[in-house]
């Protein structure tokens, strides 16, 4: 099996996520999800309260002011993927194990891992 470079895999994965959220999501089922359906059928939702940010610019996966449904939902999806990628990568980058030699004292990076697939 062909081994792909880490960078290639990351770029392909991001593109796939963008296509799924930005384009394919338009074709997703509009039916209520399991919890929504059960709640409505059984009356669990009788005391449901509005979301605190229900009038936000991206509420319900549509961009406020963009009236074309496909464009609005797709744009919201792309923004969501981008924002999740940024926040997620940021958190994980801060949490990660520092390899020896990358301490903040300014020591040279000992990139001994180079060539092992990255």
Contact footprint for another protein (CB under 8 A): 1-4, 6, 9-10, 13-14, 16-18, 20-21, 24-25, 28-35, 37-39, 41-54, 56, 58-61, 76-77, 79-93, 95-97, 99, 113, 117-118
Residue whose tokens read 């999740």: 84
User: At its nearest, how many Å lie between another protein and the CB of residue 60?
Assistant: 6
Residue 21 has a CB neighbour count (10 Å cut-off) of 21
Closer by beta carbon to another protein, 38 or else 68? 38
Show Cβ contacts of residue 36 under 8 Å, excluding neighbours closer than 6 positions: 45
Taking Cα atoms as reference points, which of 53, 61, 99 lies closest to residue 77? 61
Closer by beta carbon to another protein, 27 or else 67? 27
């Amino acid at each position: 099996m062909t081994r792909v470079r880490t960078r290639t895999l990351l770029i392909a994965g991001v593109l796939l996520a963008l296509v799924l959220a930005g384009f394919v999501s338009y074709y997703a089922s509009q039916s209520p999800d399991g919890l929504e359906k059960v709640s409505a059928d059984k009356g669990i939702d009788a005391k449901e309260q509005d979301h605190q940010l229900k009038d936000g610019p991206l509420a319900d996966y549509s961009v406020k002011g963009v009236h074309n449904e496909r464009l609005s939902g797709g744009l919201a999806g792309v923004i969501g993927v981008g924002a999740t990628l940024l926040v997620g990568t940021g958190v994980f980058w801060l949490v990660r194990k520092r390899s020896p030699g990358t301490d903040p004292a300014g020591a040279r990076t000992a990139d001994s891992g180079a060539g092992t697939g990255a």
